Amino acid sequence: MRKAIIISALAVFMACASILSGCSSKETIKIGAATYTETKIMAAIYKELIEDRTDLTVDITPDLLSNPMILKSMSRDDLDMALMYSGVIFSNFFPVKQTTDRKEVLKQAQAGFDKHYDFTWFDPLGWENTYALTVQEQTAKEKGLQKVSDLKKNQEQMKFGVDSSWMERKQDGYPAFIKHYGFDFKQSYSMDINLVYEAVANDRVDVVLAYSTDPRLIQYDLKTLEDDKRFFPHYDASMVARNEVLEKHPELKPIMNELVGEIDEETITKLNYEVDINNRNEREVAREFLAEKGLLNNESEGTK
């Protein structure tokens, strides 16, 4: 009798151990995110989608400091996917042809990362995050400013506030901008990128170089001028994933493609605003966005 009890207890223990082992072996997808808020929002969005649609779990590694760090981590299988921007092809990761053609930049990114890194570079999500010249909405109305070329007639009077590092970059900075557009602000002030928004809002400068999806464009009521001579490089946002993980989990590919072309510049800027200005959690903002689009199958279950 005692022997039977022991055997029975042992069987129960082994069954429980098997169940626990099965739970602990649940596969995990690892998403990396740079220091930009929108990369962390998109990581949270894809975490929600993947966990909602599959049996996979998702871990996010935020605040990675550089593109080389992200690519190295993916190459070592420490990360499976991340948000990146097409313009990174000009950072010497592999040979490319210099071009300002948007489709050609994307084509080179997709072919190059597949060939040299064995990564899939998905089609763009719908927005790009690049440099932009901006002015106050009121200033734009008063001076009739719609595009960058419109600033030429005001170059003598308008004060230009700009990121210090951009002023010194010869290939894609201010020296190249002057040559490309054919005018030079007579009053230019170098400062930290985080100070330019307050400077223009407080009328210390009239024009500032900003990032095109920065939520402070909304906060300070700034108008982005059209880059009509196409000086600034294209930085279309796309998800990038290791081919190995996509082959192992074919259910991921349709999930990755679901938001292609669905998030424009206005939308991502508003999402950034919710996190950076309204101090909301990225995952909360991600779930709200997906719920509004009707993309969560298990919305009523709350976060996992």
Residue 19's pLDDT band, with cuts at 50, 70 and 90, is very low
Judged against a pLDDT cut of 80, whether residue 272 lies above it is answered with yes
Give residues with Cβ within 8 angstroms of 295, minimum separation 6. Answer: 49, 258
Please state, in angstroms and rounded to a whole number, the distance separating the CA atoms of residues 288 and 304: 15
Give the per-residue pLDDT at 121. Answer: 98
State the Cα angle at 185 between 220 and 139, rounded to 5°.
35
Domain 131-224 is found in CATH 3.40.190.120: yes
Give the per-residue pLDDT at 129. Answer: 92
Dihedral angle at the C-alpha atoms of 52, 55, 59, 60, nearest 10 degrees? Answer: -30
SS3 242: strand
Residue 303's pLDDT band, with cuts at 50, 70 and 90, is very low
For residue 196, give both structure tokens.
């330019």
Specify the amino acid at residue 285.
Answer: V
The larger pLDDT score, comparing residue 14 to residue 109, is at 109
The larger pLDDT score, comparing residue 233 to residue 239, is at 239
SS3 14: helix
Side-chain half-sphere of 124: how many Cα atoms within 13 Å?
A: 20
Give the per-residue pLDDT at 74. Answer: 96
Sequential DSSP letters for 83-115? EEEGGGGGGSSS-------HHHHHHHHHHHHHH
Q: What is the pLDDT of residues 149-191, one digit of tens each?
A: 999 999 999 999 998 888 877 777 899 999 999 999 999 999 8
Question: Where do the CATH 3.40.190.10 domains begin and end in the chain?
Answer: 28-128+235-293
Give the per-residue pLDDT at 299. Answer: 59
Judged against a pLDDT cut of 50, whether residue 8 lies above it is answered with no
Residue 25's pLDDT band, with cuts at 50, 70 and 90, is low
- Of 4-8, 129-133, 245-249, 266-270, the one with minimum mean pLDDT is 4-8
Judged against a pLDDT cut of 50, whether residue 24 lies above it is answered with no
Residue 8: burial class (beta carbons within 10 Å; 0-12, 13-18, 19+): exposed
Residue 20's pLDDT band, with cuts at 50, 70 and 90, is very low
Judged against a pLDDT cut of 80, whether residue 104 lies above it is answered with yes
Question: Where do the CATH 3.40.190.120 domains begin and end in the chain?
Answer: 131-224
Mean pLDDT of the chain: 89
Strands (DSSP E) contained in 113-258 are 119-121, 131-136, 159-163, 187-191, 207-211, 222-224, 237-242
Judged against a pLDDT cut of 60, whether residue 9 lies above it is answered with no
- When the candidates are 3.40.50.280, 3.30.300.30, 3.40.190.10, 3.40.50.2300, the CATH number that belongs to 28-128+235-293 is 3.40.190.10
For residue 299, give both structure tokens.
């919305």
- Of 49-58, 157-166, 242-251, the one with minimum mean pLDDT is 157-166
